[in-house]
Structures are given as C-alpha cells and as structure tokens.
Amino acid sequence: MGFGLQLERLQQVLALTDRLPRQVAVSDWLVVPKDALAQGAALHYAQKLRQGEARVELSLEHGVDRDGILAQALQRRIGQVAWVDHQGKVTTETISK
C-alpha cells in the first residue's frame, strides 16, 4: 500500500497566489550515506545538525559517485558535505564555491 502527496497540484495553486518563495533557500550541509547500511546513521547525523539550526539536505540516492555528489552540492551552493558510514563515522568536506 502506498500514498501520494500530490504536491504538484498544491504548487500550481500556490503559484497562482504568488505565495511561493522566489528562490529556494541555500542549505548549509548535504549529508550523504556511504552505502545503504549507512542511511540510518546519516539520518541521525542530519537531525543532529538541524538541532544546531543548520539548513540540511539528506541524500538517500544509491550509486551516485563522489564527483556527482560534489557537483550536485556545488550546483545547489551547499557549503559542506558530510559522508556518513554505517558505524556513524562522519567525514566532512568543504565545497569551494
């Protein structure tokens, strides 16, 4: 069983009322699990960062290489990438803008 949020319709309605933001806010961090087993640890680390009021995005894509993730972060103007392994060990990387 599944469900759908149907956000496209909501976006269409909000666009007509001029209530959508003109720009998407830039995130401070992109948290990336190193593999499927690290997803829980990555989610936990993202929550920890958010408690410090950082804007955080969490990537749960599989099979994306390091260069692809870094290019994605650069394109989105994200300043830091946190790579999290299944044991919760975090390696951070600063993105040059």
Give residue-wise pLDDT tens across range 48-90: 999 998 999 999 876 678 999 999 999 989 999 999 999 999 9
CATH code, domain with 68: 3.40.50.800
What are φ and ψ of residue 29, in 5° steps? Answer: -130, 145
7-45 pLDDT, tens digit each: 777 777 777 887 777 777 889 999 999 999 999 999 999
DSSP 24-72: PPPPSEEEEESSGGGHHHHHHHHHHHHHTT--EEE---SS--HHHHHHH
Range of the domain at 49: 24-94
Task: Judge whether 87 lies within some domain.
Answer: yes
Whole-structure pTM value: 0.76
> Is 42 part of any domain?
yes
| DSSP 8-state class, residue 2 | -
In a domain, 18, yes or no: no
